[in-house]
Amino acid sequence: AVAVSQDAAVVSAPPPTGTNVALASAGAVASASSTHSAGFAVTAVNNGERAGANPGAGGYWNDGSQGAFPDWVQIDFNGNKTIDRVVVYTLQDNFTNPVEPSDSQTFTLYGIANFSIQAWNGSSWTTLGTVTGNNLVKRTVSFAPFTTSRIRISVAAVARGGPWSRVTEVEAWGY
């Protein structure tokens, strides 16, 4: 909900709840099924930079298995965390001049189209949400609170500009 102050007629959005427990600065560590090259390192997915700035020089993760799926990127948290949503940022069409992604920004070329959010339950992966036909650069997937030590984004298909999986950032919101 948006709060409106009647006195000053100022509109402000409420702050997000919880903490992004996927950040490297919070002790989380990223890994991936494969990586194209050092310029597309998986460390890009949890460094706090969502737009994918500096393509080919650490701006986003690009898998190394051209046209083969699934690909995955994983975030190991600093211990068990209870999370209720994951935000996945993928490559925007104008990746050489990216902007901070909004909730409504779409892609047609390079983004991930079909993917699942999975969490480790102690012995196997549990699917918390699946997205098909995605065209949003910033896709939020909400689910019932789940306690886990790690999450995985499993990519099943990419947009027509494929054949690579490209992720610029992953956020896991919880406490």
pLDDT digits (tens, 9 = 90+) for 10-22: 444 444 469 999 9
Q: How far apart, in whole angstroms, are the C-alpha atoms of residue 110 and residue 113?
A: 9
Phi, psi angles (nearest 5°) of residue 145: -50, 135
**C-alpha dist (Å) from residue 149 to 3, 22, 36, 154:** 34, 10, 26, 17
* Mean pLDDT on 42-70: 96
Percent of the chain predicted with pLDDT > 70 = 90
Q: What angle do CA 113, 1, 143 make, to 5 degrees?
A: 40
Least trusted range by pLDDT, from 3-7, 85-89, 97-101, 123-127: 3-7
Which position has the higher pLDDT, 38 or 16? Answer: 38
Candidates 160, 152, 107, 161; CA nearest to 134 is 107
Phi, psi angles (nearest 5°) of residue 42: -65, -20
* Mean pLDDT on 123-145: 97
Q: How far apart, in whole angstroms, are the C-alpha atoms of residue 29 and residue 127?
A: 20
Q: Which two tokens stand for residue 82?
A: 């209870």
Do the beta carbons of residue 139 and residue 122 sit within 8 Å?
Answer: no
* Mean pLDDT on 71-81: 98
Q: How far apart, in whole angstroms, are the C-alpha atoms of residue 67 and residue 164?
A: 6
Torsion, Cα 118 78 83 147, to 10 degrees, reads: 80
CB atoms within 10 A of CB 10: 9
Q: Which two tokens stand for residue 26?
A: 């919070």
pTM attached to this predicted model: 0.89
Predicted confidence at residue 6, as pLDDT, reads 38
